[in-house]
Structure 1
Amino acid sequence: MAVENLEVRRAGADDAASMADVWLCSYDAALPTVRRAHTDDEVRTWFADIVVVRHESWVAVAEGRVVGLLVLDEGSELDQLYLDPAWRGLGLGDRLVALAKQRRPDGLELWTFQVNGPAQRFYERHGFVAVKCTDGSANEEREPDIRYAWRP
């Protein structure tokens, strides 16, 4: 598995199902204690009908298979960054964050759960700073979270 051999490209409608599969697998692996607010089918429908259609979505593809995804909203929100668990720690996340910064050079913001220490360390390593912590009452999972911001 080499990050150099990956293709990173804009996602299309045909990628929605694979993106949802990566999201589901990654979420379950990284956040085993966090309840999911939506069923697998609801997540798949959300990717097909909303994420790929309304947002700037990117996929990392290795050997014809989606192994990572990046979703940016129309503003400064880094909405989704998920990797197939087998691809963690290989530089793929670094590559996708670099792409996000390139696409949003004026800055980015994102949310991550407080229980997700690896994500916090990852984003902090990339220059993101925690700007707000919540008790989770405003998110669907009802899980305490952290707002991060990157300003160039």
Structure 2
Amino acid sequence: MTNDATILRKARAADAPAIADVWLRSFAAALPGVRRAHSDDAVHAWFRDVVVATQETWETWAAVHDDRVVGVMVLDGGWIEQLYLDPVWRGRGVGDRFVQLAKNLSPGGLELRTFQVNHPARRFYERHGFTAAEHTDGGANEEGEPDVRYVWRPVG
């Protein structure tokens, strides 16, 4: 079920605290067994001072419903660096819309990484045509958690 009242728009500086809160809630709900590499304060500072503040480096999108941020997607060229939804917003089509937006903005293809233990995310990306290209031991991510690199390439 999609919700037509939810809009996807470029993130604004004022969105940073709510975006960080969505990230924190989503991480806690989806990855309870994964060690977080940073404190809540550090996550808030990173979204405020780096991710949202440096739109020339990263393209940060917010899903907004009734003036409330319910999701975030961060693109870096052909990479989906972050895609997190408030847990109560999963299954409502917002993630689908984010992926379609990313494909429209990067029609030559996309890549992303997700943790191997995040089976719902893996199914979600596979449903959207992403294929697993590499499995790692987690040595290259801050959490030290084994991950999967996924790739999407347009057909034709």
> For this structure pair, what is the TM-score category when the shorter chain's length is used for normalisation?
over 0.9
Residue in 2 that maps onto 1:107: 109
Is 1:20 the equivalent of 2:23?
Answer: no
In 2, the alpha carbon distance for the partners of 1:3 and 1:47 equals 26
Residue in 2 that maps onto 1:71: 74
TM-score (norm 1): 0.97
User: Percent identity at matched positions?
Assistant: 62
Pairing 1:82-121 to 2, within 5 Å after superposition:
82-121=84-123
TM-score (norm 2): 0.94
Moved more, 45-54 or 119-128: 45-54
Residue 53 of structure 2 aligns to a residue whose secondary structure is helix
Residue 4 of structure 1 aligns to a residue whose secondary structure is coil
CA RMSD in angstroms, aligned pairs only = 1.0
In 2, the alpha carbon distance for the partners of 1:146 and 1:9 equals 28
Residue in 1 that maps onto 2:124: 122
C-alpha contact 2:2 2:94 (8 A) present in aligned 1: no
For this pair of structures, how many residues does the alignment match? 151
Q: CA offset at residue 2 of structure 1?
A: 5.2
Residue in 1 that maps onto 2:35: 35
In 2, the alpha carbon distance for the partners of 1:59 and 1:20 equals 11
Q: CA offset at residue 115 of structure 1?
A: 0.3
Moved more, 21-30 or 1-10: 1-10
Q: CA offset at residue 3 of structure 1?
A: 1.7
Q: CA offset at residue 138 of structure 1?
A: 1.2
Deviations 1:77-117 (A, max 9, x none): 10010000000011110011001111111111000000000
Instruction: Output the amino acid matched with 1:86.
Output: V
Moved over 3 A (4+): none
Instruction: Output the amino acid matched with 1:145.
Output: D
Residue in 1 that maps onto 2:134: 132
Residue in 1 that maps onto 2:153: 151
Q: CA offset at residue 137 of structure 1?
A: 1.1
Instruction: Output the amino acid matched with 1:140.
Output: E
User: Any stretches of 5+ residues in structure 2 without a counterpart?
Assistant: none
